[in-house]
Amino acid sequence: MKTRWSCLVECAATALGINYDDIIEEIGHDGSAIIFPDLPEPGCRQGFHMQEIIDVAIKKGFAVTAIEALPCSTPDGLKVYGNNFKVERFQNHLVGTSGIITGMKRKWRHAIYWDSGINWDPATGKSSFEIVNMDIDCFYRFDQIKS
């Protein structure tokens, strides 16, 4: 990984087919600002937000769709209804598509790039067909906008 806080932006560069420096320039910062000095590395850093990635994606002609792994509804933020979605629903969205999978890996949030059954983890630099080793919360599907 370029930095301990850059997994999301590295995956986005791969999904968009651009290099790391170009996406950093488009976003306008490198995520290194210390925002939470009371937290250890890399949690103390600004990092990146998916909305920054979506803004760049739209400029580059990509639509980004968020597919939640286990969607739920809440009327007040306290009471939660799980909507009875099945795991297969999420898995079906992964077939033949590419994008970014996000979730919790050990202590911090993490992102990997997904492409039709192969995942690439910027932390290890390795691609594999193995099951993703993190608690997945969302798949951000990247689709080129057709004109």
What does the domain layout of the chain look like in residue ranges? 7-144
**What does the pLDDT read at residue 6?**
96
H helical segments located in 85-138: 87-94
Q: What is the pLDDT of residue 88?
A: 87
pLDDT at residue 33 in the model: 98
Q: Are 9 and 30 in contact (CB under 8 A)?
A: no
Instruction: Tell me which residues of the chain have a pLDDT lower than 50.
Output: none
pLDDT of residue 133: 84
CATH 2.40.40 fits 7-144, yes or no: no
| Closest to 56 (Cα-Cα) out of 85, 18, 87 | 18
Interhelix angle 20-27/7-16, rounded to 10 degrees, is: 110
- Tell me the CA distances in angstroms from 107 to 42, 54, 103, 104, 110, one per residue in order: 10, 25, 11, 7, 9
> Encoding tokens for residue 133?
């080793």
pLDDT of residue 84: 77
What was the pLDDT predicted at 129?
A: 85
Three-state DSSP class for 68?
A: strand
